[in-house]
Structure 1
Amino acid sequence: WGEVTFVDKWVGAFLNKVDELKLWDDTIVMVTSDHGTQLKDHARFGKGPEDLHPFNTQIPWYIRHPDGPRGKQINAFVQSHDLLPTALRLLEVPYANVDGEDAWSLVTGERDVIRDHVVIGWAEFVAGNAGGRASVRDAEWNYVVSVGEEDPQPELYHLPSDPEEMNNVHDRYPEVVDRQRTRLEAVVGQPIPAQLNEVCDHPAPSPMYFFLQHRALR
């Protein structure tokens, strides 16, 4: 719960400052995250590539526009790379040839959906092949598989009958597996298992690494 308190405090501080400066009529606010976290979901805490389920992959995206609707909720598939074209549209900045879709069109009612499935990935922080794992999710199925190597235990969950994604039915629905795998390969651009190299062959330690190292030496 400390994470929730932390976010609540500092998002609140930002919103209070917008209020103090009387900028609400000229400010668009977006709040989102990079991933969720497990709070004893599937009997675990934290996050990881082996758990590409909604508690890790389904994140909030709040948008407050001065002229926009209030309290409206959208239940549609969007992805993180939709943020850029959405922000550019709201700022009335021309754009072309960007990944993602304008999600504000869902709010205005111009469109009911912008895609019928999402592909979610978790890359490894290693030099060389960073294949990791991926999830291909639509309204009915969640398919999870390793990307950079053969997966001895690929997963498939039937969401209407198993919303908690506890029962792997991969071997019972080969036609669904083939369809979801084809969707994933279309995004990756090569057959699975794929070779996906890190942009940097020698990734540097993160700031958190240095912080923890310094604290340990004190």
Structure 2
Amino acid sequence: MNIIVIMSDTFRVDNLTCYSRESMVKTPNLDKLSSQSFVFDRCYCASFPTVPNRFDIFTGTHSFVKQDWSPLPFNEIVLSQILTEGGYNTALIADTPHIIQHGFNYERGFTTYLWNRGQENDRLYSFPDAVELPCSVKKLRDPANNLIPHMRNIYYNRYEEDCFAPRTMSDACRWLEKNHDKGEFFLWIDTFDPHEPWDPPEYYIDMYDPYYLGERVIYPQYHPVTFFTEEEISHCRSMYNGEVTMVDRWIGRVLEQVEYLGIQGETTIIFTSDHGFLFGEHGFIGKTFIADDYFECLRLYEEIVHVPLMIRLPGQKEQKRIPGLVSSTDLMPTILEMLNLTDTAERGGMTQAQTLQCGFTQPQSWSLDVGSLHGKSFCSLLNGKEKKIHEYVISSFPLMHGTPRIDKSVITTEEWSLHVAGKAADPESELLPPPGLTYRNNPGDYQPGTTKAALFHTPEDPGQTCDVISDNLSLARDLHGEYVKSLEAWDLDKKRLDLNKKLNL
């Protein structure tokens, strides 16, 4: 069996009609895929955001108890090296810069990889010297390091095919054409779109907001919504929606290629994302709060951590729903079981490591204790032998900072969502939210500096606007106790663990 994984960064779950019947986003190809797939109703990212999430999936363990946004350590055994050892032709085709640039090394273990350079802050070109920004510089998040490099990189783009998602999906189609008949393969396609900057061709944006005449805030400050006009926030969502539709169109090319090559009967297709994005929900635009040197992780609301997951098995024609909780960390053990490679992982193999100088490598042995993985295979959900594999799942920013501004987690059950923050390692050095900004204070809006726990009853309050922790203290303490037990089982450093043992009420 072959496997194709399509990872689309910052793809909100409610873009898709299979998750939200009210969705107005045009995604005909993913809609068709969902009609032929297992649709996981309650999939959550584990570690947040982009790089920690890839760590989770590639290693089957939670990055948030191991490391921050960091390179992939050489001693971590990754999915690609196990599949390569098992005889699979493995390939990574990506335009997401953060998993490869600066030696982050997430291409390790693949037989081959192709990086479409130029997304976001990738310093590909140094010209032209001056670029015209689409809006006032004060509305943009760190334009010198994010948007200006991006605009230099796309300066000579003329056609839709020049955009990053189209290039990446086209490269995937070409790879499939040359490799589909050369034995079993594993293809990971990783596009950074629809992550900002939102710059699809104009006709995609016109599908959603054709009469807008204001500034184009294509890479907004991660700020309270009061920093922008309502029209700007609405147009941000329209530009994002346009990029989602473009991504969908080119994912359709990959799905079409699988059909044309006649391999749909032997190929599993997996579509997922790493996290979502706020467009005014809870009083913010973005997924964190960033202001100059100030950084704060917001509560990890449903709009951020609930992610799409669809799996179409070979020859599958009908949709099946999976209501049980799953986590992104479950993907690695699931794929190993699907391909009957669990024994291969336990047996291990040899990896060639470059040492001493370029061109000189030495073999290093490896093996994986599958029982040490934090994720669980959900094959039993696919084959109907079980209804659920988790009582709860945990989503978290890396717990490495010693400040409640950043070390935030959410424990999600079938009914409840408990949001918690750790203690400060040095309370006297804690930063206060920056002055001079106005924060909206509607029900459910996040207030910067918030460190107290909050509890939401998801069936009655899917938007998480009504904190009911005061009426359910016993339940909150029980859930927090399970959270602490999990951190202990996953070997969180003792100093970090101690900062997260107390439920802040």
Residues 160 and 145 (structure 1 numbering): CA distance in 2 closer, same or farther, change over 3 Å? same
Partner SS, residue 499 of structure 2: coil
* Structure 1 residue aligned with 2:499: 193
In structure 2, how many angstroms separate the alpha carbons of the residues matched to 1:13 and 1:164?
34
Partner SS, residue 74 of structure 1: strand
- Aligned mate of 2:275, from 18, 35, 59: 35
- Aligned mate of 2:328, from 69, 77, 80: 80
In structure 2, how many angstroms separate the alpha carbons of the residues matched to 1:192 and 1:158?
28
What is the percentage of aligned positions where both structures have the same residue? 26
Are 2:257 and 1:17 equivalent residues in the alignment? yes
Matches within 5 A, 1:42-121: 42-48=282-288, 49-68=297-316, 70-95=318-343, 96-97=370-371, 98-121=373-396
> Do 1:136 and 1:180's aligned partners in 2 also have CA atoms closer than 8 Å?
yes
Are 2:408 and 1:133 equivalent residues in the alignment? yes
The amino acid of 1:26's aligned partner reads E
* Structure 1 residue aligned with 2:78: none
Are 2:490 and 1:179 equivalent residues in the alignment? no
In structure 2, how many angstroms separate the alpha carbons of the residues matched to 1:37 and 1:24?
32
The amino acid of 2:323's aligned partner reads N
Tell me the CA shift for residue 192 of structure 1. 5.2
In structure 2, how many angstroms separate the alpha carbons of the residues matched to 1:185 and 1:7?
39
In structure 1, how many angstroms separate the alpha carbons of the residues matched to 2:269 and 2:317?
13
Residues 42 and 152 (structure 1 numbering): CA distance in 2 closer, same or farther, change over 3 Å? closer
In structure 2, how many angstroms separate the alpha carbons of the residues matched to 1:80 and 1:148?
27
Aligned length: 193
Gaps of 5+ in 2: 1-240, 289-296, 344-369, 426-449, 489-493
Tell me the CA shift for residue 80 of structure 1. 0.5
Cα deviation code 1:57-82 (max 9, x no counterpart): 11111111115562111111000111
In structure 2, how many angstroms separate the alpha carbons of the residues matched to 1:138 and 1:25?
35
* Structure 1 residue aligned with 2:468: 169
Gaps of 5+ in 1: 196-218
Normalising by structure 1, we get a TM-score of 0.77
Residues 110 and 53 (structure 1 numbering): CA distance in 2 closer, same or farther, change over 3 Å? same
Partner SS, residue 161 of structure 1: coil
Normalising by structure 2, we get a TM-score of 0.35
Tell me the CA shift for residue 42 of structure 1. 2.7
The amino acid of 2:253's aligned partner reads A
Taking only aligned residues, the RMSD between alpha carbons, in angstroms, comes to 2.5
> Do 2:266 and 2:315's aligned partners in 1 also have CA atoms closer than 8 Å?
no
> Do 1:146 and 1:193's aligned partners in 2 also have CA atoms closer than 8 Å?
no
In structure 2, how many angstroms separate the alpha carbons of the residues matched to 1:2 and 1:123?
31
The amino acid of 2:277's aligned partner reads T
Residues 46 and 132 (structure 1 numbering): CA distance in 2 closer, same or farther, change over 3 Å? same
In structure 1, how many angstroms separate the alpha carbons of the residues matched to 2:481 and 2:317?
38
Partner SS, residue 89 of structure 1: helix
Structure scoring higher RCO (CA < 8 A, sep ≥ 6) equals 2
- Aligned mate of 1:157, from 421, 431, 456: 456
Partner SS, residue 75 of structure 1: strand
Q: Which has more radius of gyration?
A: 2
